[in-house]
Amino acid sequence: MTVAIQTEKLSRRFGRTMAVDQVDVSVPEGAIYALVGANGAGKTSFIKVLMNIYRPSSGCAQVLGIDSTRLGGRPMRRIGYVSENQEMPDWMTVGQMLDYFRAFYPEWDRTLQHQLVEQFELPLKRKVKQLSRGMRMKAALVSSLAYRPALIMLDEPFSGLDPLVRDELIEGLLERAPETTIFLSSHDLAEIESFSSHVGYLENGRLLFSEEMSALTDRFRDVRVTLETPSPLPSKFPDGWLQPQMTDRVIRFVHSNYRAQLTEHELATAFPAARGYSLEPMPLREIFLAVARNGRRNPFSGSDQASKEEAKA
């Protein structure tokens, strides 16, 4: 498997604050990888280290096979980068801006540029400073896609956009997906669940998990055990059973390592007098809430995560 992004114990400190804390991540070529987490989790700092805007405090990262600290010049022509607060030449018209950027990229595809301008209904004669936030993001995306980059890096690209504009941007990205790797950060789970192939969860600079989206959703279940008579919760639950609750004769918890027959055997052993069980798949938002509410404990390693000052640099 060819890897587009690889980090090993990557860290970035700002004074006493560890914004990125020993992150190990591997993004396969061709993936649509979503890095999610609350505001202040360290997502922006992580992306800026990958883009050589910040130097790592320790550890290392490779982007398209190149050490991140050496990114610049020719290698950067293979990467499209769009951030939440994208800096753009406000005094130019959209058309002038695209002409200006085109001079830096020999691989610029004019036909693709025209297709994207038409698809996003960009007003070429309007000055950038007169664009709405949604139009600015569309213009930024066109200028990052027109040279057909091997990797697209997006930092909170959909934040604050109305649903229609957001869907248009996602559609434009998905059309480019077969020919590129997409890495994006977001705190809005609903916007990435439907199209991301891989997901990583960052909290206080620590990566709690990173895996294929389908594997993650397959592994979590909302479990309800119905008992014959009311009884107290068991004194000890396995590490992977999160948020146990007891209501009348129903015990409810989140199973973070569901394995079909093995899980059913575990339930039968733990609750031999149960009248029945239900194990329901969970949407991504509920999975992340379960992990976050679990006392900031990583259910995959069983180890407590140190509480750190949150920062978004």
Mean pLDDT confidence for 17-34: 95
CB-based contact 44:18 (threshold 8 Å):
no
Mean pLDDT confidence for 93-120: 95
Q: What is the pLDDT, as a whole number, of residue 306? A: 32
Strand positions, DSSP E, the chain? 3-14, 17-28, 32-36, 58-63, 66-67, 79-83, 151-155, 181-186, 198-203, 206-212, 221-227, 241-247, 250-255, 274-281
**pLDDT tens-digit readout, 131-146:** 998 899 999 999 999 9
Lowest mean pLDDT, pick from 19-23, 213-217, 231-235? 231-235
**pLDDT tens-digit readout, 248-270:** 889 999 999 898 888 888 888 88
Residue 70 has pLDDT above 90, yes or no: yes
User: What is the pTM for the complete model shown?
Assistant: 0.85
Q: What is the pLDDT, as a whole number, of residue 309? A: 34
d(CA 228, CA 71): 64
Q: What is the pLDDT, as a whole number, of residue 289? A: 83
Q: Where do the structural domains in the chain lie, given as residue ranges? A: 3-216, 221-281
Using alpha carbons, list the distances in angstroms from residue 41 to 32, 104, 158, 200, 236. 20, 34, 17, 12, 31
Lowest mean pLDDT, pick from 30-34, 57-61, 120-124, 184-188? 184-188
Maximum separation of any 2 CA atoms in the chain, in Å: 75
Using alpha carbons, list the distances in angstroms from residue 146 to 42, 255, 306. 29, 44, 43
Mean pLDDT confidence for 18-34: 96
Q: Which CATH class is domain 3-216?
A: alpha beta
Confidence of residue 108 (pLDDT cuts 50, 70, 90): very high
**98 vs 298 pLDDT, higher one:** 98
3-state secondary structure of 299: coil
Confidence of residue 86 (pLDDT cuts 50, 70, 90): confident
φ/ψ of 290, rounded to 5, equals -65, -40
CB-based contact 22:295 (threshold 8 Å):
no
Q: What is the pLDDT, as a whole number, of residue 266? A: 86
- What tokens appear for 297 in the block? 């404990």
Residue 311 has pLDDT above 70, yes or no: no
